Amino acid sequence: MLKRFAAIASGPLLLAVLVVLLVWPLICLVSGSLHEGNSGGAWTLDNYTAIFQTRSSRVALFHSIWISLGVAAAAVVICLGPAWLFVRHDFPGKRIARAVLTLPMSFSGILIGFLCVIMLGRIGVVPRLMEWLTGTDYFSGTAYQLGGILIAYFYFEIPRATLSLESALRKLDPRLELAACSLGAGAWQRFTLVVLPQLWPALLATFALTFCVSLGSFGVVLIVAKRFSLLPLEVFEQIIAFNRYPLAAAMSVVLLAIALCASLTARWATHRLTHVR
Amino acid sequence: MMTPATIEAAELTLERAGESIPPRVRARRRSTAKLLLLALLAVILLVVISPVIVVVLGSFLNTSFLGLSSEQWVGDGTDANALITFQWFSYVLKLYQPQLLFSFQLAVLSVVVCILIGVPAGYLIARGSFPGRRWLEELLLLPLALPGIAISIALIQAYAVIRGRWYFVLFGHLIYTLPFMARCVAGTLRSFDCAALERAAQSLGAGPWQRFFFVVLPSLRHAITLGALLVFAVSFGEFNVSFLLMTPLTATFPSALYATYTFNSFQVSSAATVVFLAVILPVLALIQWLGGDELSKVEQGA
């Protein structure tokens, strides 16, 4: 009796928790974005057209997308190196290196923004060091420019990309490479012709994951943005400064839609790539 | 297309050929690539660790010596020329004690709720057999891909009535922490034949509750510990969601960090950051030590 009850009730109970925590708020978000005022009002699409008509939010959306794309691509390419080392090689201090690399995992965006300002701000450590070495304070104020934002976002993605690629590399069958080796393939040929084709789905999945994380993060720009605005920061300002919830909700829905599209595309591609072969 | 047979054959060939290739040649060819990768790793490590070292040093060193800040405000009765001072820590701890305490309570509560809800949830999505199980799993893991700020606005729109209550912030944290616990538990349950163990226990006369508490739970001890640590770390460091959900009375420690970054000097900000690191680093170290390779499967999302 008890067992039957547990078996029948537990699924719906979990569903109820998720509906309360996630589904209902998301429905309210979409409905809020389609209304005029903070508390209801007539149905309208004005909030969405406003995003594309207002120059600042349009630019922010554009920046958000291409910065996230760029950082995700860089993270996938660069972090493949450490991931490869961790899976395929042994070297002294491997555990410590891995621990240090996963350190930024629980740093929030604001903390990374602060670190970025310390290192690359107007009187940051790097400019000071440069001045001491060369006499000119190179990189002074980089934190507040595009370069600083890119570096900070990349910092954010290092552990995520590395861990995700690591788990993919662990699943590769080393025997395929041995076979290629025995057929006379060099290291580079083995990598491009044997490893990469197997790795494509994982690279795409990692790309989508890092893209989504970058897209939603606003702590970094909250600290360092002077000339740059990204869409999450616009959402934040619409609420804190103007108390315009419908517009903020519409921007959030746009962010959600892009993130969902990215992860669905990645999953579809992964599915296709793994099942075609 | 490679069949297992071709692979076997190739392996055999390789083994035979391996005898004729001098091992030193092989090792050298490999080591150039490895050295390049190690250099890359060293650069990345330097980028990751150097700001942290600067912050830790800045929290107790008189940084006007380093030329990092032009002049330093010192409290009453302290030596302005002292090289080392710990006054910023006492300043931060005194000023931001409520936030530190609240964040700690919030993280512990998140862990408790995640054990109560997340563990059964993980069990359900790994072992359950009801229609729509896959959809439920997708829904449970969905928040990991969603921007935190969108979630917080959604919560505000849906539950404006309870805005300002402390458990409103907990709601936001649970959305992001439940997937971690569920994933840990489900991952472990999928890695061994749990059904066989349960059948064995059943054949010995154990009821469903006995099986859950004496067979399933003990084998999940490691996963639950790891999940709890992850939940604690995620909850304690969370900023995106809590910053919009909270009110001045229910402010979390990361928001206190934000306040110091915006309004205080480099030394105070560094000291506050070091306090944050002092809580989070032991947890992260434990996660690394316990988790090892499994982490790559679990740790994703913001």
Q: Sign of the C-alpha dihedral, residues B127, B131, B132, B136?
A: negative
Residue B64 confidence class, pLDDT cut points 50, 70, 90: low
Residue A153 sits at the chain B interface (C-beta within 8 Å): no
Report the percentage of chain A scoring pLDDT > 90: 20
Identify whether the C-beta of residue B254 lies closer than 8 Å to the C-beta of residue A108: yes
Q: How far apart are CA B247 and CA B244, in angstroms?
A: 8
Q: Residue B297's pLDDT is what?
A: 55
* From A14, A111, A216, residue closest to B136, measured CB to CB: A14
Residue B282 has pLDDT above 60, yes or no: yes
Concatenating the DSSP letter of every residue in A14-25 gives: HHHHHIIIIIHH
Q: Residue A141 phi/psi, 5° resolution?
A: 80, 10
Q: Looking at per-residue confidence, does B192 or B283 come out higher?
A: B283
Minimum CA–CA partner of B169 in chain A: A21
* From B7, B13, B45, residue closest to A101, measured CB to CB: B45
Class of domain B87-298: mainly alpha
3-state SS string for B216-261:
HHHHCHHHHHHHHHHHHHHHHHCCHHHHHHCCHHHCCHHHHHHHHH
Residue B16 has pLDDT above 70, yes or no: no
**For B136-145, what is the mean pLDDT?**
86
Alpha carbon B209 to chain centroid, angstroms: 31
Structure tokens at B150: 């969108």
Decide if A115 and B142 are in contact by the 8 Å CB cutoff. Answer: no
Specify the CATH superfamily of domain A49-276. MetI-like (1.10.3720.10)
Residue B135 has pLDDT above 60, yes or no: yes
Identify whether the C-beta of residue A64 lies closer than 8 Å to the C-beta of residue A213: no
Per DSSP, A144 falls in state G
A contact residues 218-277, partner B, Cβ 8 Å cutoff:
218-219, 222-223, 232, 235-236, 239, 245, 248-249, 252-253, 255-256, 259-260, 262-263
- A202 contact partners, CB below 8 Å, separation of at least 6: A164, A165, A168, A169, A270
Q: Residue B21's pLDDT is what?
A: 45
**For B238-243, what is the mean pLDDT?**
86
**For A224-247, what is the mean pLDDT?**
83
Average pLDDT, rounded, for chain A:
85
Residue B23 confidence class, pLDDT cut points 50, 70, 90: very low
Size of interface A-B (CB pairs under 8 A): 266
Give the highest mean pLDDT range of A1-10, A67-76, A135-144, A244-253: A67-76
Q: Looking at per-residue confidence, does A181 or B278 come out higher?
A: B278
Decide if A118 and B266 are in contact by the 8 Å CB cutoff. Answer: yes
Residue B10 confidence class, pLDDT cut points 50, 70, 90: low
Residue A188 confidence class, pLDDT cut points 50, 70, 90: confident
Question: Helix, strand or coil for residue B302?
Answer: coil
pLDDT tens, B65-93?
555 554 545 555 455 566 777 778 888 88
In terms of Cα–Cα distance, which of A151, A146, A160 is closest to A116? A151
pLDDT tens, A14-55?
888 888 888 999 998 888 888 877 776 778 888 888 888 888
**In chain A, domain spans:** 49-276
Identify whether the C-beta of residue B230 lies closer than 8 Å to the C-beta of residue B180: yes
Average pLDDT, rounded, for chain B:
80
Q: How far apart are CA B72 and CA B90, in angstroms?
A: 16
**For A79-91, what is the mean pLDDT?**
89
- A198 contact partners, CB below 8 Å, separation of at least 6: A172, A176
